[in-house]
Amino acid sequence: MGNLFRTYGPGAITVTSWASYTPTLTHNSGGATNVTITGKWRRVADTIQVRVALSFTGTPANFDGVYLSFPSVTIDTTKLASSGNQVLGEAMVWNDDVTQHNVAATIYASTSTVEVRWLMSQGTNSPSIYKVVAQNSPIVLTTNDLITSTFSVPISGW
């Protein structure tokens, strides 16, 4: 992968071109079927930027939790504000049948994975909470539904 942009001297940063990869999808329980997973990543200085899409080609088998891997690098947790439930980026759960989308977040799970959780409102004067994405939550996933995730994290050794 070549450098898209590079400056020299003090404060030099490297930005690489976007590269494709296939993220590994894991769950708390069960296992999604009928899903195509695509991803792209690039380096920006000491950070990896990642874009992932899960496209459903049919109703998946029951699963609970959406955990995504990224290329063979390790999150530098010393540069995170915290290592527990920290939001690292945005995500969406798209229902193709009714053009409905559910706001979600990409959250730190481990030094090599992130988790997608959807934002559930608890009503007036109550805080919203992040809930686990499942085959039937926040929507019943079927053909042409989509889960997207975009996030950036600092990487050890970059």
Taking the C-alpha atoms of residue 156 and residue 99, their distance in angstroms, rounded to an integer, is: 39
CATH value at residue 48: 2.60.40
Output the CA angle 74-31-67, nearest 5 degrees.
25
Domain membership of residue 80 as a residue range:
17-154
HEC sequence for 89-114:
EEEEEEECCCCEEEEEEEEECCCCEE
Residue 88 in domain: yes
Confirm whether 7 is domain-assigned. Answer: no
Query: Considering its fold, how many domains does the chain have in total?
Result: 1
pLDDT tens track of the chain, all 158 residues? 555 555 556 667 889 999 999 999 999 999 999 999 999 999 999 999 999 999 999 999 999 999 999 888 999 999 998 867 789 999 999 998 877 788 999 999 999 999 999 988 766 666 778 899 999 999 999 999 999 999 999 999 99
Q: Which two tokens stand for residue 82?
A: 């915290």
Task: List phi, psi (to 5°) of 79.
Answer: -100, 0
User: What pTM was estimated for this model as a whole?
Assistant: 0.87
Please indicate, yes or no, if residue 3 is contained in any of the structural domains: no
70 assigned to some structural domain: yes
In a domain, 123, yes or no: yes
Does any domain span residue 47? Answer: yes
Three-state secondary structure of the chain: CCEEEECCCCCCCEEECCEEECCCEECCEECCCCEEEEEEEEEECCEEEEEEEEEECCCCCCEECEEEECCCCCECHHHCCCCCCCEEEEEEEEECCCCEEEEEEEEECCCCEEEEEEEECCCCCCCCEEEECECCECCCCCCCCEEEEEEEEEECCC
- What phi and psi values does residue 78 have, to the nearest 5 degrees? -70, -20
Q: Is residue 4 assigned to a domain?
A: no
Domain presence at residue 28: yes
